Amino acid sequence: EDKKKFTASLMIAAAFASFFTGVTEPLEFAFMFVAPALYIAHAVLTGISLFIAASFQWTAGFGFSAGLVDYILSFNLPLANKPFMLLVQGVVFAALYYFLFRFMITKFNLMTPGRGDDELEEAVETDSATAAPTTKEARFRQQAETILVGLGGPDNIRSIDNCATRLRLEIEDMDKINESKIKSAGVPGLNRVSKHDLQVIVGTEVQFVADELIKLKSDK
């Protein structure tokens, strides 16, 4: 209960990116590694949803990401067939997702964001004590500074890169990574790809955070 506000800020941002642009990674990565059972359920529900849409030939002429913008732009394309039915189907599957996920999370006590992470709560409280940034540039700078501390400092970073939603980092010593500190910067999750490769899921504003992180590393 005491983590709802912080968790909601993460989930709303990830949900908006998923709905508006079709970029689902921030939302999926929030539970993919901490509760893989949910991801399996997600895969099954997605397969059933695609089967139903294909069987009834409810199609849209998606050109890129299957988000709201893409949906509106492709609504009248030749490939589209009863695309409005996808909205009806979406409402039904939203209910299925909610009740199934809620049942699994409470039944098996799955550690999704905001559940049982006391270290994260302490980190958030500590960071909340500092003054809130007044501009976007300052916010990205503060977020990058928090991530940098969680990464073990500039000397622990070999290289910094990014894709559409993730920081792609080459790390010197993975044991120095403080996941709770990094998550306190408002990121949905992390993915340890290999012994030295780490991905930090930031969202669609990742480029701004990456730029600030590069500046911080070069300054120090």
pLDDT tens digits for range 134-152: 677 888 999 999 999 999 9
Q: In this model, does residue 198 exceed pLDDT 70?
A: yes
C-alpha distances in Å from residue 135, one per residue of 8, 132, 182: 22, 9, 21
Report the pLDDT averaged over residues 155-174. Answer: 92
Higher confidence at residue 14 or residue 45? Answer: 45
User: Which residue did the predictor score with more confidence, 24 or 114?
Assistant: 24
Arithmetic mean of pLDDT, 45-49: 96
Tell me the pLDDT tens digit for each residue of 84-139. Answer: 999 999 999 999 999 999 999 999 998 887 776 554 455 445 454 445 556 778 88
Residue extents of the structural domains in the chain: 4-108, 119-219
Please say if 163 is a catalytic residue.
yes
Distance, CA of 219 to CA of 53 (rounded, Å): 53
Average pLDDT over residues 170-190: 88
Q: What is the pLDDT of residue 116?
A: 60
Mean pLDDT of 144-162: 94
CA distances (Å), origin 99, targets 52, 104, 115: 20, 9, 17
Predicted confidence at residue 205, as pLDDT, reads 83
pLDDT more than 90, % of the chain: 47
- Provide the pLDDT for residue 128: 47
Catalytic annotation, pick one of 37, 40, 163, 193: 163
CB 179 within 8 A of CB 110: no
Confidence at residue 219, expressed as pLDDT on a 0 to 100 scale: 80
Amino acid at 132: A
Residue 86: the pLDDT is: 93
What architecture (CATH level 2) is domain 119-219? 2-Layer Sandwich (3.30)
Q: Is the pLDDT of residue 3 over 80?
A: no
Tell me the whole-structure pTM to 2 decimals.
0.65
Give me the chain's average pLDDT, please: 86
Q: Counting Cβ atoms within 10 Å, is residue 3 exposed (0-12), middle (13-18) or buried (19+)? A: middle
Averaged over 19-29, what is the pLDDT? 84
| SS3 at position 163 | coil
| Residue 67, SS3 per DSSP | coil
